[in-house]
Structure 1
Amino acid sequence: MSTDSSSPNRGLVVFSGGSAANSLVDVFSDVQKSKQCSLSYIIPISDNGGSSSELIRIFGGPGIGDVRSRLVRLIPESPRNPEREAIKALFNYRLPYDASAAHAEWHSIVEGTSPLWLAITPAKRELIRSFFNLLNSEILKRARPPGTTFDFTSASVGNLFLTGARLFSGSFESAIYLLGSICGVPSDLVRVIPAINSNFSHHISASLTDGTVIVGQNSISHPSEATALQPRPGSRRPSLLLADGEELESSDDATYEDDHLPGSLPTLRNKNISFSKAQNEDLPSRISRIWYINPYGQEIRPPANPRVLESLRDAQAIIYSIGSLFTSLIPALILRGVGRNIVTSPAKHKILILNGSLDRETGPPDQPFTAVDFVEAITRAGEESRGRGLCESNGGTPYSPSFTMAKPAMLETLPYSSYVTHILHLDGPGTPAVEREKLAEMGIETLRLYGRKIVAQDGEREVQTGMKYDSTALVQALEVVLGKRGDAILRGGQGNGLSRRNTLEAGRKERG
């Protein structure tokens, strides 16, 4: 690919997590085709919930769930290719919630007798099965019944394959390449890049403005327990899920050291297979900072995957997709090298697609995040990646952040427009407020889109909980910003917005 700064074929780079941004894959694909360029997805590997949590508990390694879900979502639709559709169904499949049924179904997959194999040709079936067999063998080696055994409950078959391929090759990126190749994902045009290239687990912690420390991504975004904010008796500070390192009261603690490296925090020993993304208690205060930790809970500053930095150096546009701000975007932005490469990237457009609703991470009832808060969090993360002097040291004690938040006076000098130049947003109940005048002063343009209402049932009445982007309107908006649709009808004033004529099914209700 040309390195000429004026080249129209520089790539698009999308920072995103998994499930939320998967709904926009077709949007990004349409823009990529119209710009005739490559498309790179930067995916964090810090997720320790769901199916990934059990693989991390037994094997260690990165959180692979978001990478797998994006790869499978990118498999081209092929109604005339039943094998490709069958492979997509296989890697999308989750084992039953019942433990015994899940174990039995896993063995039918390993043995090749599962109905999931029916439309897959023998050559590909045996190739895929070989990695399942390898993984199954490794699971048996690590079994220490009755205390430590692998729990197949709700396991993602795609996650199991990626883990088997990683164990065989010794390379996470080789496993990604293999899955993409088997599924027909055009890797010359679309790349799924883990934010960190590693065979080891990388966990994150968060601090809240009230001093609470939260350990592990799952506990930050959608904790498995009914409440994640119950201080244990005698704890030294408000902590979350034993962030201060106290021991678990567990029947299988005695066997723990047989299967884990010394130093792993008790919080990270827990199974996080079952959780709800829709029903979580509110955090008592705002998240102030995210950072990476080693197995002892001490802060580390890992470097970004070199392929991430390469994609940023050759980008014509950088997009921050919808999703969880502090667990989908920030873990990639704070990595060493990312901030510098965003600021110095040839990309003229750095676009934030603002969430259509607030979540646990951004919606404390008394302090809900606004568009300015989203921009500030992204900018602060990028500047921290650069090692800029935004923060004051507090001594760096274990299980607490090494830095505190910058003072408000210092935040006024942040280079906001070096990280975000445009915001695309929706307007309606449940959406983050957008301070257009303040954003304009920060050098950021806003573009308002029409979308679909998301409603939830509250007893006998419907309540609007947010908005969902209309795909056609979002493609048009991105093309407006990127300069392809200069003739699009725009609404003038402080906050530009696409005309209703540029949308389809505007305002239609979407049930949550």
Structure 2
Amino acid sequence: MTKITLQRSAELPDDLRVARSLSAPHLGPRLLFFSGGSALNKISRALKRYTYNSAHLITPFDSGGSSQVLREAFDMPAVGDLRSRLMALADESELGQPDIYALFSHRMPKAVPNAPLRAEVEAMVAGTHPLVKAVSSPIGLLIRDFLRAFLVAAPMDFDFRNASIGNLILAGGYLAHGRLLEPVLFLMSKMVDVRGTVRGVVDCNLQLGVELADGRQIHGQRQISGKEAPPIESPIVRLFLSEHGKEVVSGSVPLPKRNRKLIRQADLICYPPGSLFSSVIANLLPAGVGRTVARCEVPKVYVPSLGTDPEALGLGLADRVAALLAPLRADAGMEVPSTRLMTHVLCDTSEDPVACAEVTARHGIPCHRLPLVSDEPERYDRELVCAALVSMV
């Protein structure tokens, strides 16, 4: 058992706080995550046992997979990470909406010609597809309306292979609501009884760009992550927002008021595991994030990724903390102490103690080594991470 100092003295895990959360998750703490990608989804599935009040600000700047096909067809923000987090937080029990969950989670096969896949979506719009027939009205009618809006707007050569039906429904809802994400995210959250709040950090159609140590600039998340392109061989020194291949003026993309309020209401703010730049830091770029975080009197916790992150080439733990602090301090003011933006770093006991000590020496931020890893190599134990975060509130 490890003791750390918050605004109170806390033990991790705090058995009383953990038990209280498990017994009454509807009264659970408001944990806010700056997140993206799939790295946090397994932890999120466990988290809904502890609290129904977590909030997830998700990057809409993904440019890979099914999301990229939709972005190219409709000039819209990425919805794949939003949809996957909604599904991770949905009530998957029989008391929830298993038929809707099954429809939203359905993915088209990769190795099938496009024509029969389009016909399958047309059957969903007509209400004859088994997955849609299983959903009762009026929700079924609303889903069909969203799919119809998507299908009407989709180009005839739209590639349905490997498409997520949930993504298509989100895209149709986006088009049907004046090209706004927030209304359709709200409706989808209600449809599958999401145990928390999931929002895009901003509701705009932009890309990510990075500046490398060798002076080059790269635009597009899939080019940065190394998942769908060769890995970057020069360290990333700066992340920025991009539009049509050009850097967007810093500060011109504001954090919406509804998201500023969400941050202010948090009992704990977490920079969670995930690709350092494209999944976590991307959410810190909008104007107002750093200022809002700095004003919050709550624990602000970094839980670094395990294993190798292609985006963190050559970056030690203290360097990754510095990369997280950079956009926050650029917004909040260079004079703002590091501890106003990040109060703790939580690492597994496998982390090098020297690396932890360097975090404190360079940034003045306490770094704690706790047993957080499961038996699966380079994977956090989701229950241990949830218990640690709940204990800090």
TM range (shorter): 0.7 to 0.9
* SS class of match (2:40): helix
- Unaligned runs of 5+ residues in structure 1 are 144-148, 228-280, 390-412, 455-465, 483-512
Is 1:468 matched with 2:379? yes
Letter in 2 for 1:183: V
Query: Match for 1:317 among 254, 263, 268?
Result: 268
In the other structure, the counterpart of 2:90 is 75
Is 1:306 matched with 2:315? no
In the other structure, the counterpart of 1:261 is none
Deviation, structure 1 residue 433: 7.6
In the other structure, the counterpart of 2:21 is none
The CA distance in 2 between the partners of 1:436 and 1:295, in whole Å, is 40
Deviation, structure 1 residue 444: 1.8
Deviation, structure 1 residue 333: 0.7
- Structure 1 residues 56, 479: closer, same or farther in 2, change over 3 A? closer
| Higher-helix-fraction structure | 2
Runs of 4+, deviation exceeding 6 Å? 431-434
Query: Match for 2:60 among 25, 31, 45?
Result: 45
Larger Rg: 1 or 2? 1
Deviation, structure 1 residue 48: 1.4
Deviation, structure 1 residue 473: 1.9
Contact preservation (8 Å) 2:270, 2:300 = yes
In the other structure, the counterpart of 1:379 is 325
Is 1:218 matched with 2:168? no
Contact preservation (8 Å) 2:107, 2:164 = yes
Is 1:333 matched with 2:284? yes
Query: Match for 1:158 among 152, 166, 171?
Result: 166
- Structure 1 residues 22, 166: closer, same or farther in 2, change over 3 A? same
Query: Match for 2:32 among 13, 24, 44?
Result: 13
Q: RCO higher in 1 or 2 (8 Å CA, sep ≥ 6)?
A: 2
Letter in 2 for 1:69: S
- Structure 1 residues 372, 30: closer, same or farther in 2, change over 3 A? farther
Contact preservation (8 Å) 2:43, 2:383 = no
- Unaligned runs of 5+ residues in structure 2 are 1-6, 9-26
Matches within 5 A, 1:104-503: 104-139=119-154, 142-143=155-156, 149-170=157-178, 171-185=180-194, 190-198=196-204, 201-225=205-229, 227=230, 281=231, 283-301=232-250, 302-347=253-298, 349-362=299-312, 364=313, 367=314, 369-386=315-332, 388=333, 415-428=337-350, 435-441=355-361, 442-454=364-376, 466-482=377-393
Contact preservation (8 Å) 1:166, 1:175 = yes
The CA distance in 1 between the partners of 2:200 and 2:46, in whole Å, is 21
TM-score (norm. length: structure 1):
0.66
- Structure 1 residues 453, 288: closer, same or farther in 2, change over 3 A? farther
Deviation, structure 1 residue 115: 2.4
Give the number of aligned pairs: 362
Query: Match for 1:87 among 100, 103, 123?
Result: 100
Give the percent of matched residue pairs that are identical in Structure 1 and Structure 2. Answer: 28
Letter in 2 for 1:378: L
The CA distance in 1 between the partners of 2:342 and 2:369, in whole Å, is 13
The CA distance in 2 between the partners of 1:122 and 1:414, in whole Å, is 53
